[in-house]
Structure 1
Amino acid sequence: MSRCARTAALLISQVGLLRRRVGVSSSSMHESLVKLLVRPMNMVILGSPKLGWSKRFEGGAMSLTSEQARAVSACVREHAAGLGARITVAIVDGGGHVLVVDRMDGAPPLSARIAPAKASSVALFHRDGGELVRLQQAWPALFAQLDQVAGTPIIAGAGSRLIRRGDVVVGAIAVSGSAPEHDDACAEIGLVSARSAVSD
């Protein structure tokens, strides 16, 4: 049995288990799964990555730019320094592709791997880190297999937020390397800065 077939079988069994656990109807559970797994992939990608130029449009909104991402990262670093935290901040576009990975001096080496994975996870699922943690707790076996389907590590955790322009996801930010409350505080500062950037 192929990986995709195994994942589909696992998904079906997990849906039945969760439906019985929380007492929701099959139709509403199906709708939730479509939003969870299909909607993030319904995107149109334009551009050539080899040339370093790409634009993603969903409902007419362009993703966060590299310039905006660098400005947000600088704001987060400044806030982290004020907390005495040494962190890595990662910012991705609406498709989960990395725009910035910025590791402060003294930040844990592994944080440079964790932050981009958290950011791309929330971007792909269109859910903030807290909501993604709840989904992972509800479907642990499914989440153990999702990185094989997504082609990237799926990490749910504190300090990760979606960046939206209106109702459209244009990127995500994640922070790693400090205490969870510091990661969350830094991500929230980054989100405020990003909202200001994308509304200009």
Structure 2
Amino acid sequence: MSSDTLAMAFPSSSITRIAAGALISAVHTAAARIGFTAAVAVTDPGGHLKAFDRADDAPFLTAEVAVDKAWTAASFHTSTHTWNDYLANPSIAPLSGHPRLMAVGGGYPIIDNGRCVGGLGISGGSYEQDQQAAEEALAAVGFEVPTR
């Protein structure tokens, strides 16, 4: 096989620092409107932390949970609230023992032009509030809101 026909790599995209900051700001705005304070994590598509912020009065555990939600969402390009259904499958259930897997709403892949460019994780409200703030923030910044 010649190197002309064999792809040796694929181009990848990652969320920018400015877009990550805009998402964090949009989450805090949405969370304040909804009625809670949050920790917000943004990762690159490999799950590495790109940006983070925790409101002054958000509980300290929200920091770790937000990071793990973002990591989980970026890992399979899937929102974290869908993991409860996945983990009900006995073939997938062993993943529930993974220390970073977060099967709680509030984590979303960050999708730009059909490509995952990172993960967004929010913790501080109920799982419904975290999900709502994430969806509002993604839409406000101009990212796609995943349906799963």
Q: TM-score with structure 1 length normalisation?
A: 0.61
Alignment match of 2:39 (pick from 69, 88, 96) = 88
CA contact (8 A) 1:90 1:102 kept: yes
Following the alignment from structure 1 to structure 2, what is the Cα–Cα distance between the partners of residues 121 and 194? 21
Match of 1:130 in 2: 81
Q: Could you tell me which runs of 5 or more consecutive residues in structure 1 were left unpaired when the two chains were aligned.
A: 1-43, 45-58, 148-152
Deviation sequence 1:168-197 (CA, Å, 0-9, x none): 111111111112221111111122134359
> Aligned-pair RMSD on alpha carbons?
2.0
Secondary structure of 1:188's match?
Answer: helix
Deviation sequence 1:65-124 (CA, Å, 0-9, x none): 122101110111112112221111111111111111211121111000100001101101
**Is the aligned partner of 1:142 residue 2:94?**
yes
Q: Answer with 1 or 2: which has the greater Rg.
A: 1
Match of 2:140 in 1: 193
CA contact (8 A) 1:163 1:194 kept: no
Residue 146 of structure 1 and its aligned partner are, at CA, apart by 3.6
Aligned residues: 135
Following the alignment from structure 2 to structure 1, what is the Cα–Cα distance between the partners of residues 69 and 98? 14
CA contact (8 A) 2:111 2:143 kept: no
Alignment match of 1:71 (pick from 9, 18, 22) = 22
CA contact (8 A) 1:164 1:171 kept: yes
CA contact (8 A) 1:69 1:194 kept: no
CA contact (8 A) 1:163 1:195 kept: no
Percent identity reads 30
Following the alignment from structure 1 to structure 2, what is the Cα–Cα distance between the partners of residues 186 and 92? 17
Higher relative contact order (CA 8 A, sep 6+): 2
Following the alignment from structure 1 to structure 2, what is the Cα–Cα distance between the partners of residues 123 and 195? 18
Following the alignment from structure 1 to structure 2, what is the Cα–Cα distance between the partners of residues 99 and 144? 25
Match of 1:119 in 2: 70
CA contact (8 A) 2:43 2:49 kept: yes
Distance 1:145 1:79, change over 3 A: closer
Following the alignment from structure 1 to structure 2, what is the Cα–Cα distance between the partners of residues 110 and 87? 11
Alignment match of 1:158 (pick from 105, 111, 117) = 105
CA contact (8 A) 2:112 2:143 kept: no
Following the alignment from structure 1 to structure 2, what is the Cα–Cα distance between the partners of residues 196 and 158? 18
Following the alignment from structure 1 to structure 2, what is the Cα–Cα distance between the partners of residues 94 and 110? 23
Distance 1:193 1:63, change over 3 A: farther
